Structure 1
Amino acid sequence: MRRTEQREHILRVIFGTEFYPPEELDEQIDLYFEQTGIDDEKDRAYIGEKAKKIAAKVPELDKLINEHTTGWKTVRMNKADLSILRLAVYEMKMDEDVPVSVAINEAVELAKRYGGEDSPSFVNGVLARIIK
C-alpha cells in the first residue's frame, strides 16, 4: 500500500476517535482493519502505530491548531477538517519522515475528498500559518 493510502486510513481512524473513548483505541483499530480488509502486517503496523501516536498528542496538536486560527477553535471545527489538521500538524511537527510540503499537499487533497466546499482552503490556510 502506498503512503498516501496509508495516510487516508490513518485519517479515518483518527476521525473515529471523536466517537469513542480513548481506552477503546486498540479495539477500534482492530475493528477498522477487520471492516476494511487490511491484512498486510506492515500496513497494519504503520497505520495503527501512527494513529496511536497522533491520538496521544491530540491535546498538544489542538493547542497548536488553536494558536493559529482566528474564530475557529477546534471545538467548533468540522470533525473531518479537524482530523485532517491533526494528522497534518503531527506530520509537520513530529514526524521527521514526512517533509512539510508533502504533509500540507496531502492534507489539502484529503480535505478535497472528505471535507466541505471550503475545507481545502481552510486547511491550507491553517497549515500555512503554522509553518511560519
Structure 2
Amino acid sequence: MKRSELREHIFKVLFGLEFVSPEEMPGQLQLYFGQLEDIKEKDRAYIQTKALAVAEHLEDIDALLNASTTGWKTGRMNKVDLTILRLAVYEMKWDDDVPVSVAINEAVVLAKQFGGDDSSAFVNGVLAKIV
C-alpha cells in the first residue's frame, strides 16, 4: 500500500476516537481491520502503530492546536478537520520519517477528500501557523 493510502486508513481509525473511549481503541482496530480485505500484515502493523502513537500524543497535539488557533479551539472544530489536523501535527512533531511539507500536503489532500468546502484552506492555515 502507498503511504497516502496508509494515511487514509489511519485517518479513518483516528476519526473513530471521537466516538469511543481510548480504552476501546484496540477493539475498534480489530473491527476496522476485519472490514479490510487482503491487507498485508506490515500495512496493518503500520496503521495500528501510528494510530496508537497519535492517540498517545492526543493531549499534547490538542494543546498545540488550541495554542495555535484563535476562535477555533478543538472543541469547536469540525471532527473531520480535527482528525486530519491531529494526524498532521503528530507527523510534523513526532514522526521523523515524514517531512513537514509532506505532512501538510497530505493533510490538505485528506481535507479535500473528506472535509467540507473550506476544510482544505482551514487545515492548511492552522498547520502553517504551527510550522
Task: State the TM-score, normalizing by the size of structure 1.
Answer: 0.97
Post-superposition offset of 1:35? 1.2
Tell me the residue number matched to 2:44. 44
Cα deviation 1:11-62 (Å, max 9, x = unaligned): 0000001101111111101110111225310000000000000011111100
Tell me the residue number matched to 2:20. 20
> What is the Cα-based RMSD across aligned positions, in Å?
0.7
Tell me the residue number matched to 2:121. 121
How many residue pairs match? The answer is 131
Tell me the residue number matched to 1:111. 111
Tell me the residue number matched to 1:73. 73
- Aligned runs of 1:71-110 on 2, under 5 Å? 71-110=71-110
Q: Which runs of 4+ in 1 moved over 2 A?
A: 36-39
Structure 2: gaps spanning 5 or more residues: none
> 1:11 touches 1:84 (CA, 8 Å); kept in 2?
yes
Tell me the residue number matched to 1:30. 30
**C-alpha separation between the residues in 2 aligned to 1:18 and 1:94?**
21
> 1:38 touches 1:44 (CA, 8 Å); kept in 2?
no
**C-alpha separation between the residues in 1 aligned to 2:33 and 2:82?**
22
**C-alpha separation between the residues in 1 aligned to 2:38 and 2:56?**
23
The percentage of aligned residue pairs carrying the same residue is: 63
State the SS of the aligned residue for 2:53: helix
Task: State the TM-score, normalizing by the size of structure 2.
Answer: 0.98
**C-alpha separation between the residues in 1 aligned to 2:38 and 2:80?**
22
Query: Match for 1:76: what amino acid?
Result: R
